Amino acid sequence: MKICVLPGDGIGPEIMAEAVRVLEALELGFEMEEALIGGGAVDATGTPYPEATSRLAKAADAVLLGAVGGPKWDTLPREQRPERGLLAIRKELGLFANLRPAILYPELANASSLKPEVVAGLDILIVRELTGDIYFGQPRGVEERGGERYGFNTMHYTESEIRRIGRVAFEAARKRGKRLCSVDKMNVLETTQLWRDVMTELAPEYPDVELSHMLVDNAAMQLVRAPKQFDVMVTGNMFGDILSDEASMLTGSIGMLPSASLDENNKGLYEPSHGSAPDIAGKGVANPLATILSVAMMLRYTFGREEAALRVEGAVKKVLAQGYRTGDIFEPGTSRVGTRQMGDAVLAAL
């Protein structure tokens, strides 16, 4: 059982160190190997997703990733930006199914910007398609046309792409609250009319799941108005990017949320939902819990070790109950700790 570890940029190495300690403490016999991705990879090799990293990632059963990017690389040509490394590994490994849970831990109810009664008990799963849509569509670019600059991108989906993410979402809903909301913009965009049609065609195969549809602008509004109406949401790559950030903030801190990106055989890339947070990088104050919870998702989805996953999640709940808080979730009356101390607390709870 081989894990490719990609700490990446910014706070990536700090939070990854804690996740790796948790993995080691579980003593499950995983083999871990580290490689470069993102800005650090650009500095060392000239490309954000070097050949050696690609080889390691392909050979591993799972990839654990910290975060990529930072202001230092923002002015590089597009192909050399750290984000390109992330898009490349998703595409190359065929990681089409991105699972982004947004769970509100009762201890953190005050961290949300919404009223506690609106978010108490919140537990949403966003299933985002990750290897298609306008993110990868051709043609794309910025050109000179008719004497001015012209920018263009292409939104597209094949029905088989929609069907396979639809199945992941229906299956996920089946294991949870049995409600699936498919999000599209069918009133304007043909591609997303096809999306709605294919989801509707799949529904009879999952009679135990209640399928509904919602336009993306309304979904964005409903997420802040009454988020608990949702159980599982499924949507395309771009809408999913936006809605998952919105959903994550309902829980108060994006620093708590893990994610999984899976291929058809449950090989997966696991990463916190947050970014590289260059403003606090190297200070030892970042919240490692999203990365630690990503380890739990990896144990569950790729390795089928449900018990170990629950142990890790239980340890995280315990440290929250004990009052340990990194700066992003700190409130008066709790104990403020740094990245390493939070890792220590999780290890002790384990």
Q: Which of 241, 246, 263, 344 binds Mg ion (CB under 5 A)?
A: 241
**Strand 210-215 and strand 179-184: pairing?**
parallel
139 annotated binding-site participant: no
Which one from 133, 185, 267, 324 is the annotated catalytic residue? Answer: 185
Nearer CB in complex with ligand IPM: 210/246:
246
178 is annotated as an active-site residue: no
Least CB distance from residue 235 to Mg ion, whole Å?
13
241 a catalytic residue? yes
Q: Which of residues 68-127 bind ligand IPM (CB under 6 A)?
A: 83, 86-87
**Binding residues among 138-197 for ligand IPM as defined by CB under 6 A:** none
- Among positions 236-265, residues that touch ligand IPM (CB under 6 A) are 241
Active-site annotation holder among 49, 135, 206, 324: 135
Q: Are strands 141-145 and 148-152 parallel, antiparallel or unpaired?
A: antiparallel
What are the C-alpha distances in Å from 134 to residues 129, 153, 217, 224, 347? 11, 6, 18, 26, 42
90 is in an annotated binding site: yes
Given ligand IPM, Mg ion, none, residue 263, with its beta carbon under 5 to 8 Å by kind, binds: none
**Catalytic annotation on 175?**
no
Question: Per the structure block, which two tokens stand in for 86?
Answer: 């992330």
CA separation for the pair 322, 272 (Å, rounded): 23
- The reply, when asked if residue 285 is annotated as ligand binding, is yes
By Cβ distance, which residue is nearest to ligand IPM? 83
Range in contact with Mg ion (rule: CB under 5 A) among 117-125, 130-138, 195-203, 238-246: 238-246
Cα(114)–Cα(300) distance, rounded to whole angstroms?
31
CB of 245 to Mg ion, least distance (A): 5
Q: Any catalytic annotation for residue 185?
A: yes
DSSP assignments along 156-183, one per residue: ---HHHHHHHHHHHHHHHHTTTSEEEEE
Nearer to ligand IPM, 102 or 350 (CB): 102
Q: Does the annotation place 277 within a ligand binding site?
A: yes
DSSP string, 238-278: HHHHHHHHHHHHHTS-GGG-EEEEE-TTS-EEEEESS---G
Angle 270-272-274 from CA coordinates, rounded to 5° = 145
307: DSSP letter: H
Annotated catalytic residue: which of 241, 263, 318, 344? Answer: 241
Say if residues 233 and 248 touch (Cβ distance below 8 Å): no
Catalytic residues: 135, 185, 217, 241, 245
Binding site members: 70-83, 90, 100, 128, 217, 241, 245, 275-287
- Which residues here bind Mg ion, judged by CB under 5 A? 241
- Which residues here bind ligand IPM, judged by CB under 6 A? 83, 86-87, 241
Binding site members for Mg(2+): 217, 241, 245
